[in-house]
Amino acid sequence: MPEPRSALTFAQLAHELHEQGGLEETIELLLDSAPALVGTDCASILLLRHGRLVESGPRTAEIADKADRLQVDLGEGPAFVAVREEHSVLVKDSALDSRWAHWGPSVAGLGLHSALSVRLWTSKHTLGALTFYASRPHAFDVDEVAIAEIIGRHASVALAAARQEESLSQAIDARKLVGQAQGILMERYDLDDAQAFDVLRRYSQTTNTKLNEVARELVSTRRLPEL
């Protein structure tokens, strides 16, 4: 059983998560810090993108990476249930758990016999699932589940903020790129800004390419994509 954790410990983790520079950095810090707080071996995150759970990118434990990849490849496991049914999912002994015919025995074969998946969510979105893994069966008691869920709530807020900031940054970059492309067309063909934007838009529609990608090619090559 882990040592009792004070509110100050969780507040410090929340602060550090919000101080990270982006989504990947936030995930990496979480996966580095969270297992020790819960008293388990390792942790991993699967993110929900376009309605599907996918691997998050940063990893701190190879064995957790393998366990999550099995979830994604097999389409089953506690993270899927946590996201779908909106509650934490406890695996007491993966070798004996009958809920997942393929994932359970495969994870037990990796040497991971306990798991706990906590849904990551805000009031508007489900972000994915944070899964803790342990080598021994029956590794999570009521207190450890509660600690994992507290960490999950702090992580959800930090990850949502990091994702929003990343999206805003990408949107700003895309607008700058389109503006540069408009400037090239305006100078080369004596167009106004509306006419230049219409050229980019028509190329985007004709080639079935995103507008910012058309702009990126024009800025980098000084040529419009071939129709």
Q: Domain containing 216 — which CATH number?
A: 1.10.10.10
Overall domain count for the chain = 2
- Tell me if residue 115 falls in helix, strand or coil: strand
Q: Say which CATH number the domain at 21 has.
A: 3.30.450.40
The answer to whether residue 36 is domain-embedded is yes
- 156 and 199 share one domain: no
- 193 and 135 share one domain: no
The answer to whether residue 227 is domain-embedded is no
Distance, CA of 145 to chain centre: 21
- 110 and 174 share one domain: no
- 105 and 192 share one domain: no
92 pLDDT above the threshold of 50: yes
- 157 and 199 share one domain: no
Place of tokens 């064995």: 63
151 pLDDT above the threshold of 70: yes
Report the C-alpha gap between 89 and 119 in whole angstroms.
Answer: 9
Range of the domain at 177: 168-221
pLDDT of 6 reads 66
The answer to whether residue 1 is domain-embedded is no
- 66 and 86 share one domain: yes
Nearest to 24, CA basis, from 58, 1, 48: 58
Q: The whole model's pTM is what?
A: 0.75
- 101 and 199 share one domain: no
Please write the tens of the pLDDT for every residue from 168-215. Answer: 767 777 888 889 989 999 999 999 989 989 999 888 888 888 888 888
- Choosing from 141, 166, 191, the residue where a domain stops is 166
Q: Which range is most confident: 17-21, 124-128, 164-168?
A: 124-128
Place of tokens 């490849």: 73
Please write the tens of the pLDDT for every residue from 12-55. Answer: 888 898 888 788 899 999 999 999 999 999 999 999 998 999 98
The answer to whether residue 106 is domain-embedded is yes
- 50 and 90 share one domain: yes
**Percent above pLDDT 70 for the chain:** 95
**Percent above pLDDT 90 for the chain:** 60
The answer to whether residue 2 is domain-embedded is no
- 115 and 186 share one domain: no
- Choosing from 138, 166, 194, the residue where a domain stops is 166
Amino acid in the structure at residue 27: I
- 189 and 151 share one domain: no
* CA-based radius of gyration for the chain: 23
The band of 99, judged by pLDDT with boundaries at 50, 70 and 90, is very high
pLDDT of 2 reads 44
Torsion angle in degrees (nearest 10) through CA of 179, 168, 56, 123: -150
The answer to whether residue 31 is domain-embedded is yes
The band of 227, judged by pLDDT with boundaries at 50, 70 and 90, is low
* DSSP code per residue over 125-154: -EEEEEEEEESSSS---HHHHHHHHHHHHH
- 120 and 162 share one domain: yes
Q: Are 177 and 184 in contact (CB under 8 A)?
A: no
